[in-house]
Amino acid sequence: MACKLSNVCASRGSKTVLFDINLNVAPNAFYGILGQNGSGKTTLIDILCGLLKPDSGTITIADKPASSYSRRELAQKISLVPQDYGISFPFTVKEIVMMGRHPHMDRFSTPQAQDLDKVNMAMTETDTLGFANRFITDLSGGERQRVVFARALAQDAPFMLLDEPTASLDVRHALRLMSGVDERVSKKGCTAMVVLQDVNLAARYCKNLIFLKHGRIIAHGPAEDVLVPDVLKDVFDIDAQVRFEPELGVLQVIFK
């Protein structure tokens, strides 16, 4: 699903966080968003999913102004795995994942067979089916993160936004999550944007990279064009070498 941002500025409180963001998000593409802490990565995700309104500029989603969508319509098109996923109520894991189906269900209706199938598939894919009946409040941070990811998968939206989804995950589950997103992009035609702190994880899966610094896009484009030492030095203020890893078939970074 295509999305376009034109001259977008956004604030948190009285502080402007994003400045003149211009970005064309192509359908059927996987984007990684990289930058130092406080560079505006989460704010970019929040304005795309409608959690934050921009101060100025325009956002179009599937050739329609983002502001023209109802919350339900937007939820049918965009799923979110947030950075802050605090859930204090003792819902079961299955109940949390089923929440991903709410945008597709009539109000007060009961889940249909299709809804149950998508929930079970999402829990299987995220390795959470084994604790479907446990309370979310009893799980570890990594287990909760996988449940929230399962909820986004069950939502079955054509545009996925993920804000540091691997932060609490072990290596196996981090790779499994990223592979799952990559498969949705390559086989189902989804668009995905993921905020990551791990440059090499982004380079392994994301064909397109967006580098933010102080609220501005420093570079964006295919990974082979923008994952270069000069950009890494500018964004992270650290020297690095970029090498092609033949076993993975992608570029990887060695920080000096």
Q: Which residue has the tokens 């929040």?
A: 46
Centre a 10 Å sphere on the Cβ of residue 116 and count the other Cβ atoms it contains: 14
Is residue 143 included in any domain, yes or no?
Answer: no
| pTM of this structure | 0.94
Is residue 91 included in any domain, yes or no?
Answer: no
Is residue 107 included in any domain, yes or no?
Answer: no
Q: Which amino acid is at 20?
A: D
Alpha-carbon dihedral 58, 155, 44, 228, rounded to 10 degrees: -120
Is residue 57 included in any domain, yes or no?
Answer: yes
From first to last of its 256 residues, what are the pLDDT tens digits of the chain?
Answer: 899 999 999 999 999 999 999 999 999 999 999 999 999 999 999 999 999 999 999 999 998 999 999 999 999 999 999 987 777 788 999 999 999 999 998 887 889 999 999 999 999 999 999 999 999 999 999 999 999 999 999 999 999 999 999 999 999 999 999 999 999 999 999 999 999 999 999 999 999 999 999 999 999 999 999 999 999 999 999 999 999 999 999 999 999 8
- What's the structural domain count of the chain? 1
> Rounded to an integer, what distance in angstroms lies between the CA atom of residue 214 and that of residue 43?
12
Residue 64 in 3-state DSSP?
strand
Q: Which residue has the tokens 């950009």?
A: 231
Nearest to 169 by CA among 140, 134, 131: 140
Is residue 163 included in any domain, yes or no?
Answer: yes
DSSP at 86 = -
How does DSSP assign 111-144, residue by residue? P-HHHHHHHHHHHHHTT-GGGTTSBGGGS-HHHH
Strand-pair partners of 180: none
Nearest to 10 by CA among 49, 53, 51, 48: 53
Residue 218 in 3-state DSSP?
strand
**E strand or H helix at 89:** none
Cβ(160)–Cβ(192) below 8 Å = yes
Cβ(160)–Cβ(184) below 8 Å = yes
**CATH number, domain with residue 77:** 3.40.50.300
How do residues 156-173 score in pLDDT, each as one tens digit?
Answer: 999 999 999 999 999 999
Sequence-ordered list of residues with C-beta below 8 angstroms from that of 90, at least 6 positions apart, any chain: 135, 136, 137, 138
Is residue 110 included in any domain, yes or no?
Answer: no
> Rounded to an integer, what distance in angstroms lies between the CA atom of residue 168 and that of residue 144?
9
Centre a 10 Å sphere on the Cβ of residue 231 and count the other Cβ atoms it contains: 20
Is residue 96 included in any domain, yes or no?
Answer: no
> Rounded to an integer, what distance in angstroms lies between the CA atom of residue 78 and that of residue 49?
6
Is residue 147 included in any domain, yes or no?
Answer: no
Q: Which domain holds residue 51?
A: 3-84+158-255
